Amino acid sequence: MKTSMHYASLSNVELLAKLIGVRESRLLYRGSLQQLFAISPEKSIPHEKCAVAKELVRRFLEEELQYGDALNSPNAVRDYLKLSLNQHEHEIFTVIFLDTRNRVIGVEEMFRGTLTQTSVYPREVVKTALQYNAAAVILAHNHPSGEPEPSRSDRVLTDTLKQALSLVDVKVLDHFIIAGTQTLSLAEQGLM
């Protein structure tokens, strides 16, 4: 506990110095951590140790989801999705598959699209849910534009997937939209 409290009191540069060294942290840090963890080829290439640290945190959050109830840890779901989806410059549609106790049994990046849209095929989502023997799913996709508000097509897609999955007794618990550091839950917005 004391160690983690110590790290929490350090500045970004001090933490980076512990991760990648003093000299490199001073050379690379420019007032924002975004550039160090970016994965886009157009953005600065991340330092390898920063990319490794990001992947370790993503895996830690995925493990946390697998061993707990996804509904009782919505912040873990949000953190995992933000870390997985927020840096892409094209839309990605991801599905989290859950068992009857709402524990994560699988996470699949189902579809990739363009800057503004992704084609999602309900048949493929249903087929994958059956392969996992899932009881429920959480849907998620990113908005590279940075605007988290759901479009009309986002709402129609959610309704279509809810109907298709209900035919095989799989519940859609939520649909998250990730836009940069913002996360919007359609369920919390009353759109489910």
Neighbours of 158 (CB within 10 A): 19
Give the rounded distance of the alpha carbon of 182 from its chain centre. 11
pLDDT digits (tens, 9 = 90+) for 23-76: 777 777 677 666 666 554 445 555 676 677 767 676 776 666 666 655 556 677
Joined tokens for residue 83: 């870390």
In a domain, 61, yes or no: yes
Instruction: Assess if residue 1 is contained within a domain.
Output: no
For 141-191, the pLDDT digits (tens) are 999 888 889 999 999 999 999 999 999 999 999 999 998 888 999 998 998
What is the mean pLDDT of the segment spanning 135-140?
Answer: 96
- In terms of domains, do 39 and 122 share one? no
Q: Assess whether 166 and 83 both reside in one domain.
A: yes
Indicate yes or no: pTM above 0.75: no
Domain limits for position 40: 13-46
Q: Does 5 fall in a domain?
A: no
Number of domains in the chain: 2
7 lies in some domain? no
The b/e string for 88-124 (b: 16+ C-beta within 10 A; e otherwise) is beebbbbbbbbeeebbbebbbebbebeeeebebeeee
Does 8 reside within a domain?
Answer: no
**pLDDT, position 67:** 64
Question: Which of 63, 75, 151, 165 has the alpha carbon at shortest distance from 113?
Answer: 151
Residues 6 or more apart in contact with residue 124 via CB below 8 angstroms: 110, 111
Separation CA 108–CA 42 (nearest Å): 26
Q: Both 31 and 60 in a single domain? A: no
Least trusted range by pLDDT, from 28-32, 85-89, 100-104, 170-174: 28-32
Same domain for 66 and 37? no
CATH number of 176's domain: 3.40.140.10
